Structure 1
């Protein structure tokens, strides 16, 4: 059939040029309609040379270009989920000798139209109604034999999307950015009538996170930055949203932080504290505790304290609402894993993966900001021969590092990661590191060090428990005993100055940034062995932050950005009439 006859047949098939009225606009449910995300969502014939080109375009920065070859008409198509017995309008802007637009699988009458517009874009439009059992249709554009390359752009399938996952989602809309110092908070509107598994966030063209909700926090560093976001489901990824740009200036002064543990799953002599009643002096609230179903399962469960054990405990709904209220004030609420009775050993990859899955489920259920690792007892140890800090081989350590990095990648820059080891697992590594160093078959002393080393760039806060400890050797070679300013200065200086391990100057524990470090303390004399008075704590902080009032131990440097204090616990602080939080909050605020 020659082209002149083809044109006549096509006009007759369409019933002339009169088209049915378009349905009211609902949403463009075509994926990547302007080819801004290259050919994502589209399938093109192999010999067509199909590609997204930057010129000529109708809208945006890209358009489709494909070239018929031999008997191949260079068809590009995609399958879209639709609703049965519903009206749709299909349109596209096209350019070329003969370019066709059509839809098949409608369950009623399939539609097609064409135009010849070799020098300028022209719009094609068709309407159709789906059949009573139709749940998807296939839309397409193509050229014609021997007619050279064609272009297509801004393809719109207007109507209600189906409920299945037969196609990738449409692009998110309404991307907005709020800048707070060096932090960027992104929010957007999810695609309408699309099934979404998650989102990809792009900064300056590179993917930086994959949140599961329509919000993301980033800390991109100084300078101008541009963000876009896409949605995805098991079928594929949508086009990216319209971009939004931000400019990050100099960082604000460090915010001094109070970290407190909240007895959320158990009761003791300190009494139960409702989330809504946590004083605003606390910046980080660590929910204590998520515990494993068994030592080696990796399956972490968080059980709210039952009414029989905790009279006055709030409902889950009130608990979650109180968490949201704290977060609205800029507070961080984390799930703390472990504790004295919660030993966790990720000895195998199955336990590692279960840990990631179950911790994520807790974070998602309560909308938490991240995770506190409070492994104690025999959770971490080093196998014989495992003495290289930077390349550990002991499975419980390797798998924990992998699990924490996976969680960080899953939630992105907004994910808060803190650790609360005892001095035995950190500073004692200065003298005893590596199996057999103190005569044992395996070695626990210093066994947190490879974990901290591996996560040093992802770690929000390290607050070593400067209590329940025996004497520890400082960098001055002297023993220091808990309960006074010198002990806290010596222990903290080791984290901020770094230290050689087991006498090996080539095996160094690297210095952490001051804003990553807080000092861990009991809130009251009955909360832990090694209580330190308010005056001695302030003396230690003055020495470390200002270099003034130091005792016998002289730190290796002055650390103006030392982050703050951690305490066990918020409950014990209330029991002690809030002496810890009120005195230390006022002091930290006064430091600026």
Structure 2
């Protein structure tokens, strides 16, 4: 039997959707609601699904805020394994090709789940023999910025569970993140909270007015960082579909005691939409998700990327309530998250399928069975896990992106 991939993920069993992430083939917590969604697909008729909410009906945030205007018209985002190594090999920041416009340094992690104290450092030489010195790394950050690139601290990943349960943890988060940004001269922050970092209390049912401490404190912390660093502060988020699009079907525990994490990113995205530079949901390692057509969509095809992205760009009813709509995001603030290779994660699609999804969403052509609720030529671009895995695969992902957008 071939060994499991030594990347961020290991293949999932189709019968039991699970999600994995981190520095190697490590198991993360099971997403039980996905299993419920998969079984519900067999029994819930499409007619029972909420009617699609069209883009014209949803309020739109102002595009170009929070550094978006400083990005190229179409941007490529990639995670760089900075603090660890795995089967993809270590890549120095200075060696990242110019194709990558935003480089997310993976990962900053807390000293404990509830401390709010974030730490970040370069990969130990014993693990990464080719690691650069801190001075070389700082010089590489400055050089990338001189080339017009953004270099961000990404916080979270599989191992970096962050629960800001108290205002003290919130304040510690702000101060520790600020120290890292200042030390390396970074452009901003990527929020990559996974696992049990975000969840909703049972009585927290309105994404516009959250009351759960871990949600409220995270929003407040990011607002403080934004206020400290000003309009040039770059803010990106990389939630999983479980925390965003699944909210169309279920939001938090609900009356039937569902998973408290379902849709839990929605209040964070909504509260910070004016400060947000880019949202790139991970369209991989996902269970089946109901789209605006009332059908369940499976990862690993252009159809999945089209349906999931359409939900962000058209807006969608939360928990099936047509009167409670998560408003559309402007296309300039949206990118599609994909694995760079089949070794990097479940849900990989080859370049042809990537281009089919882009053709449909940006040109309205070759859409297949799913018809999106608009055409968005200004869709910002793509995100990949990861730069390292793309290098491992002879830069297939980034070469295709550059060829497509010229």
Per the normalisation by structure 1, the TM-score is: 0.57
**Equivalent position of 1:349 in the other structure:** 167
* Superposition deviation, residue 500 in structure 1: 0.8
Aligned counterparts of 2:286 and 2:165: Cα–Cα separation in 1? 27
**Equivalent position of 2:60 in the other structure:** none
Cα–Cα, structure 1 residues 437 and 561, in superposed 2: closer, same or farther, change >3 Å? farther
* Superposition deviation, residue 294 in structure 1: 0.1
Determine which of 240, 263, 280 is the counterpart of 1:422.
Answer: 240
Listed one character per residue, the Cα deviations across residues 296-329 of structure 1 (whole Å, up to 9, x for unaligned) are 0000000210100001111000001011111101
Listed one character per residue, the Cα deviations across residues 470-507 of structure 1 (whole Å, up to 9, x for unaligned) are 11100000011111111000000000000110122222
* Superposition deviation, residue 443 in structure 1: 1.1
Determine which of 194, 211, 219 is the counterpart of 1:376.
Answer: 194
**Is the aligned partner of 1:468 residue 2:298?**
no
**Equivalent position of 2:396 in the other structure:** 579
**Is the aligned partner of 1:503 residue 2:320?**
yes
2:268 match: secondary structure = helix
Determine which of 307, 310, 314 is the counterpart of 1:493.
Answer: 310
Aligned counterparts of 1:570 and 1:218: Cα–Cα separation in 2? 22
2:209 match: secondary structure = coil
**Equivalent position of 2:147 in the other structure:** 329
- Higher percent of residues as strand: 1
Cα–Cα, structure 1 residues 445 and 183, in superposed 2: closer, same or farther, change >3 Å? closer
Determine which of 403, 411, 421 is the counterpart of 2:229.
Answer: 411
What pairs with 1:197-236 in structure 2 (closer than 5 Å)? none
Listed one character per residue, the Cα deviations across residues 66-98 of structure 1 (whole Å, up to 9, x for unaligned) are xxxxxxxxxxxxxxxxxxxxxxxxxxxxxxxxx
**Equivalent position of 1:313 in the other structure:** 131
Determine which of 105, 109, 134 is the counterpart of 1:291.
Answer: 109
1:490 match: secondary structure = helix
Q: Which runs of 4+ in 1 moved over 6 A?
A: none
Larger radius of gyration: 1
Aligned counterparts of 1:474 and 1:293: Cα–Cα separation in 2? 38
Higher RCO, Cα 8 Å, sep 6+: 2
* Superposition deviation, residue 436 in structure 1: 3.3
Contiguous gaps of at least 5 residues in structure 1: 1-181, 185-216, 220-250
* Superposition deviation, residue 439 in structure 1: 2.9
* Superposition deviation, residue 438 in structure 1: 5.6
Listed one character per residue, the Cα deviations across residues 381-404 of structure 1 (whole Å, up to 9, x for unaligned) are 000110011100000000000001
Cα–Cα, structure 1 residues 401 and 331, in superposed 2: closer, same or farther, change >3 Å? same
Confirm or deny: 8 A CA contact 2:67 2:234 kept in the other structure.
Answer: no
**Equivalent position of 2:219 in the other structure:** 401
Aligned counterparts of 1:408 and 1:455: Cα–Cα separation in 2? 10
Cα–Cα, structure 1 residues 277 and 438, in superposed 2: closer, same or farther, change >3 Å? farther
Aligned counterparts of 1:495 and 1:254: Cα–Cα separation in 2? 21
* Superposition deviation, residue 255 in structure 1: 1.3
**Is the aligned partner of 1:444 residue 2:261?**
yes
Determine which of 536, 549, 563 is the counterpart of 2:353.
Answer: 536
Listed one character per residue, the Cα deviations across residues 537-560 of structure 1 (whole Å, up to 9, x for unaligned) are 100011000101111000000111
Aligned counterparts of 1:434 and 1:259: Cα–Cα separation in 2? 29
* Superposition deviation, residue 435 in structure 1: 1.8
1:327 match: secondary structure = helix
Determine which of 375, 379, 382 is the counterpart of 1:558.
Answer: 375
Confirm or deny: 8 A CA contact 2:104 2:152 kept in the other structure.
Answer: yes
Aligned counterparts of 1:503 and 1:530: Cα–Cα separation in 2? 26
* Superposition deviation, residue 254 in structure 1: 5.8
Aligned counterparts of 1:318 and 1:253: Cα–Cα separation in 2? 25
What pairs with 1:144-223 in structure 2 (closer than 5 Å)? none
Aligned counterparts of 2:376 and 2:264: Cα–Cα separation in 1? 26
1:268 match: secondary structure = coil
* Superposition deviation, residue 350 in structure 1: 0.2
**Equivalent position of 2:100 in the other structure:** 282
1:317 match: secondary structure = helix
2:282 match: secondary structure = coil
Confirm or deny: 8 A CA contact 1:218 1:412 kept in the other structure.
Answer: no
Aligned counterparts of 1:396 and 1:438: Cα–Cα separation in 2? 22
Listed one character per residue, the Cα deviations across residues 376-430 of structure 1 (whole Å, up to 9, x for unaligned) are 0000000011001110000000000000111111100000000000000000000
Listed one character per residue, the Cα deviations across residues 261-282 of structure 1 (whole Å, up to 9, x for unaligned) are 0000001011100111001110
Contiguous gaps of at least 5 residues in structure 2: 1-62
**Equivalent position of 2:88 in the other structure:** 270
1:413 match: secondary structure = coil
Aligned counterparts of 1:386 and 1:469: Cα–Cα separation in 2? 25
- Higher percent of residues as helix: 2
**Equivalent position of 1:517 in the other structure:** 334
Cα–Cα, structure 1 residues 278 and 437, in superposed 2: closer, same or farther, change >3 Å? farther
Confirm or deny: 8 A CA contact 1:254 1:561 kept in the other structure.
Answer: no
